[in-house]
Chain A
Amino acid sequence: AQKVTQAQTEISVVEKEDVTLDCVYETRDTTYYLFWYKQPPSGELVFLIRRNSFDEQNEISGRYSWNFQKSTSSFNFTITASQVVDSAVYFCALSEGSDSNYQLIWGAGTKLIIKP
């Protein structure tokens, strides 16, 4: 059965520290998509990244980077030099099959607190 696990319920760091959010997934499909979303207190889910199962290249976007490793079924997210504005709940999600817009299976989320 498909599943997404975010073992870290809450992480608290001081501003400018680096922080990594873990995501482990389970799927029997060979074609799938992985996502990260940010949810600030306002509630809206903000898309950060989508990665398909055939692309294991790491991604860097500014202070954000993602490490996708199929061998360990992990898709971890690192924020470098964290800022207070990064405080939010972060979700990892999985979509099976070739249609990345179909049902998303979500982890429970990691609440990230950045202290000034």
Chain B
Amino acid sequence: ETGVTQSPTHLIKTRGQQVTLRCSSQSGHNTVSWYQQALGQGPQFIFQYYREEENGRGNFPPRFSGLQFPNYSSELNVNALELDDSALYLCASSNRGGGYTFGSGTRLTVV
């Protein structure tokens, strides 16, 4: 059973650019959630996808968008990057009634 895989592990982008982060969910999981974790803080919920549909969204602007594919993998897209978007982005997969399995995250630095 493979776990959750995120790519890339580290990324440096310039303010104003766009970025795409990728997540492969654990085998058998149909739900993917994305969290942003700023340095020294707890994670903040961005959104969740269940069977390719957005299933809830946290307090993030529309320039944060996502997709879930038929194989339940997912992408997080961020447009018009700002310096405050610098953070660890965590992906977690799950099934209804089960628990989250988190990936190791993508460390995004915006300069």
Which secondary structure characterizes the binding site on chain A? loop
Tell me if A104 and B43 are in contact (CB < 8 A): yes
Tell me if A44 and B43 are in contact (CB < 8 A): no
Q: In the complex where A44-B102, A44-B105, A45-B90 touch, is A100 in contact with B97 (Cβ < 8 A)?
A: yes
Q: Residue-by-residue, is A90-112 near B (CB-CB < 8 Å gives 1, otherwise 0)?
A: 01010000011111111111000
Number of interface residues of A (CB under 8 A): 22
What residues of chain A lie closer than 8 Å to B94, measured between beta carbons? 101
What residues of chain B lie closer than 8 Å to A50, measured between beta carbons? 99
What residues of chain A lie closer than 8 Å to B42, measured between beta carbons? 4, 91, 93, 106-109
Sample 11 A-B pairs with CB under 8 A, ordered by A number.
A4-B42, A43-B90, A43-B104, A45-B102, A46-B102, A47-B102, A50-B99, A100-B97, A103-B56, A104-B100, A106-B43
